Amino acid sequence: RDHSDFLRYWDRYKPLFELDPTDYKGWAHGLKKAGYATDPAYATKLIKIIEQYKLYRFDTGSAGETIAVPTAPLVLEKQTVTKVAVSGERYTYSLNRPLYKRNGVRFIYSQQGETWESIAQGQGLFLKELLAFNDLSQSTPLPKGTVVYLQRKRRQAARGMEMYVFSEGECLRDVCQRFAVRQASVVKLNGLPEGWVPQEGDRVILRKVR
């Protein structure tokens, strides 16, 4: 459900929801056309997997019916892909990786050699979208192990995370990334001035206390 909501949020995926939910071939080709995947053979591979494991049975299964789920991993592409962009720049993106959630927001950890551009390409996102999800206006260096959110962060932190006290050297964006909260929302919630720089011991509210 979370992933279908994610697709429905973006205009370029909306035509897919006019298709019959059981039309897996139409969905496969539609996802590729909308830029969801960069592999030219994405639709063909996806259809092959669905038919090989008879996954279409899940579309028509009746209530109470038990369907065996294949134990073999479903792999669409190799673990890493290196491509050459139009500009001639080489980029690397790792596939089939673990996906995590924090405060209900999906994220991954960047891997060696990846950039914001390569992750955006691999996830079928515009670079501007991915940067906005992570409170950035332009690309920055991406060290291995950096949290990269793949969808918009929440307006408030999770329950129990109502307030945060800054340590020395921390910036507001770091804290917003840690708790999966939009920086603009925290600024508004706390009435912070533009360009505010926290000092050790400063506090910010991350969630309204009712």
Convert the pLDDT of each residue in 163-173 to its tens digit: 999 989 999 99
Q: Which of 31, 25, 29 is nearest to 7 (CA)?
A: 31
CATH superfamily of 163-205: LysM domain (3.10.350.10)
Intervals of the chain under pLDDT 70:
1-13, 36-39, 58-96
Contacts made by residues 181-187, CB under 8 angstroms, sequence distance 24+ = 181/103, 181/153, 181/154, 181/155, 181/156, 181/157, 181/206, 182/135, 182/152, 182/153, 182/154, 182/155, 183/135, 184/135, 185/154, 185/155, 185/156
For the chain, where do the domains classified as CATH 3.10.350.10 start and end?
A: 163-205
pTM (whole model) above 0.75: no
Kindly state the helix (H) or strand (E) to which residue 94 belongs, with its residue range.
Answer: strand 90-94
pLDDT in tens, 122-146: 888 999 999 999 999 888 899 999 9
Sign of the alpha-carbon dihedral angle for 28, 29, 35, 41: positive
* Residue 145: per-residue pLDDT: 92
Other CB atoms within a 10 A radius of the CB of residue 108 amount to: 19
* Residue 60: per-residue pLDDT: 63
